[in-house]
Amino acid sequence: MKVSAYLEITMKIGEAERPAAARVYNDYRGPFLEQIPGALTKELLIRGEDVQVLHGFDSAEHARDYLDSEMFKNDVFVGLKPLWSAEPDVKIYSVA
């Protein structure tokens, strides 16, 4: 399948907390790709000022649905929230 939408989550995470954030990413990357409907890709992007996770989906609807999924709300969100220094910026893009 082709990526038709991206879910971009940008988080302010300090340098000391980034290894813990990478563990959350690595722990849930496989289950995300295997269990979340429409999930096609997941990449961890790191810059000096923030950390971003870019999720590729087959539709914008599936991207929105992931934010309401048990995996996101009960596992990923819970694992990452203590690491944030500000609320994350969440965006969904459709591929033109």
The full set of domains in the chain, from first to last, is: 5-94 (3.30.70.100)
Task: Output the CA torsion sign for 52, 57, 60, 61.
Answer: negative
Rounded distance, CA 38 to CA 80, Å? 23
Closest CA to 56 of 44, 46, 47: 44
Rounded distance, CA 20 to CA 79, Å? 9
Q: What is the pTM of this model?
A: 0.93
Query: pLDDT 10s digit of each residue in the chain, 96 long?
Result: 899 999 999 999 999 999 999 999 999 999 999 999 999 999 999 999 999 999 999 999 999 999 999 999 999 999 999 999 999 999 999 999
Rounded distance, CA 87 to CA 12, Å? 8
